[in-house]
Structure 1
């Protein structure tokens, strides 16, 4: 059964996304850094909802908060909100062509930026520069290759 073929793939992909988020980038590219954890988590929420859900989103977000040194619970909340939206619209997202999925993912990532901005405003934390609003566009453009790569690994190269 293909679901059980690679049980290690979900945790390894989450760990890889976490490491990609920690990878240093030149200052001018920082604003374009995609939210790798969100991209990988959304893939698993769409393709394997029996293995990924709100709990995984919360735990992944807490790990990210600790690893990135952000406000404890910020990324956890952002990923749980994203997981809830994806879970609610999973049936529609699953059957969109990849290009339409990418647009939907761009909307999700833009919503994530709004949630982050509101959280920072409510907690009187410094706001990210305006250039960081470009990150959802990068994530949207990277969605097709991320989806195809994870799908190939999940299906064992027969997809």
Structure 2
């Protein structure tokens, strides 16, 4: 029995789409709810293809995000590398959780990401994000299951042939 061939274009396209979704202009009242798309996509790839995506990949994508988004240089790589490290450490457990439990774990990682971002802003003397921005990890956790299913279907292709 042969394994289905993975499609190599899905990884760069998904990262590019996540970067573009981070640049998408939103109305002021929706801005605090913007999920951290890049973290969700990197989390998927770290969990599913650890041989391709690791700490170096998370760092490189974070630098690109910093250059695109224009924030503190080094903040995005720090946030993504911390998340990727935690995911690598617990990958064997998280991978076999049902999607609902995976979503809770990802939500916890996104809350941790907000804590790291707040600590980085405080350390650099930058203003911290308003309290409404703490709702975005909840939305990210809710989006985990659909994102996982779509990326899995694209990565593996149709199985019922």
Shorter chain as normaliser: what TM range?
Answer: over 0.9
How many residues of Structure 1 are paired with residues of Structure 2 in the alignment?
Answer: 158
Match of 1:157 in 2: 158
Q: 1:24-60: CA deviations, max 9, x gaps?
A: 1111110000000000000000001011000000000
Match of 2:140 in 1: 139
Secondary structure of the structure 2 residue equivalent to 1:31: helix
Q: Structure 2 length normalisation: TM-score?
A: 0.96
Match of 1:125 in 2: 126
Q: 1:71-102: CA deviations, max 9, x gaps?
A: 11100000000000000000000000000000
Q: 1:139-159: CA deviations, max 9, x gaps?
A: 000000000000000111227
Report the Cα distance in structure 2 between the residues aligned to 1:74 and 1:59, rounded to whole angstroms.
12
Q: CA RMSD, aligned part only?
A: 1.0
Q: Mind listing any 5+ residue stretches in structure 1 that lack a counterpart?
A: none
Q: Mind listing any 5+ residue stretches in structure 2 that lack a counterpart?
A: none
Secondary structure of the structure 1 residue equivalent to 2:51: coil
4+ residue runs of structure 1 moved beyond 6 angstroms?
A: none
